[in-house]
Amino acid sequence: MAREFSAGGVVLRKMRGSWFLAVIEPHMERPKKPTKGRGPRPRAAATVIALPKGTIDKGEAPEQTALREVTEETGVRGELVCKLVDIKYFYVRSWGDRARVFKIVSFYLLLYRSGRLGDIAPEMRIEVQRAFWLPLKDAPSALSYDGERKVANSAIEYLEAHPELGTHATNTAH
Ligand code: ATP
């Protein structure tokens, strides 16, 4: 079975006293051609809300991948705090060899440092439809994938155990 390894990040930012995290709406595959005339209309693809992540390049440490992918996909830069969890899932490639893939994604906790959400390269807009700040408390229900909901819960637990993170001066906006 094919295997893939990716890494991603939960970027936290405190704004007006509450925590938010950077999430993306990835561009999902859509029907190539709209159905014309009669017959059922193509169903609009449901909106997916996901964490920024991407493939670990050769020679790259997973935490570097997380920092790089967060910036590429969201436009903001974060500072590494710690590793959160690894999530695992299977999927079937919808292109090429249509192989069944076992994928492991390592997630890291980052604190917002600089940059503007959505300030991404034009070519990245093919992958990312939108990036926005989601209230952290909503993330365990708003994220689309079970594994990523667990990641959000683990970020919430980390914050509860480390309340000093909220006093980080450069991270907060009032
Ligand atoms: P990457 O962002 O790591 O470069 P990618 O965009 O090529 O990867 P994935 O995001 O892993 O690929 O998506 C491949 C398939 O897996 C899609 O069908 C997607 O809906 C599904 N998928 C993505 N994340 C998860 C997850 N956490 N749990 C289950 N399925 C997922």
Q: Is the pTM of this model over 0.85?
A: yes
List, as own/partner pairs, every contact residues 53-57 make where C-beta atoms lie below 8 angstroms and the sequence separation is at least 24, other chains included: 53/6, 53/7, 53/8, 53/9, 53/105, 53/107, 54/6, 54/7, 54/8, 55/4, 55/5, 55/6, 56/5, 56/6, 56/7
Q: What is the pLDDT of residue 43?
A: 58
pLDDT of residue 137 exceeding 60, the answer is: yes
How large is the average pLDDT for residues 16-29? Answer: 93
DSSP 94: S
Q: Is the pLDDT of residue 174 over 70?
A: no
Q: Is 91 in the pocket of ligand 1 (CB under 6 A)?
A: yes
Tokens read off for 88: 């695992």
pLDDT over 80 at 172, yes or no:
no
- Kindly report, residue by residue over 85-109, the tens digit of the pLDDT: 999 999 999 988 999 999 999 999 9
Distance 16 CA to ligand 1 centre (A): 33
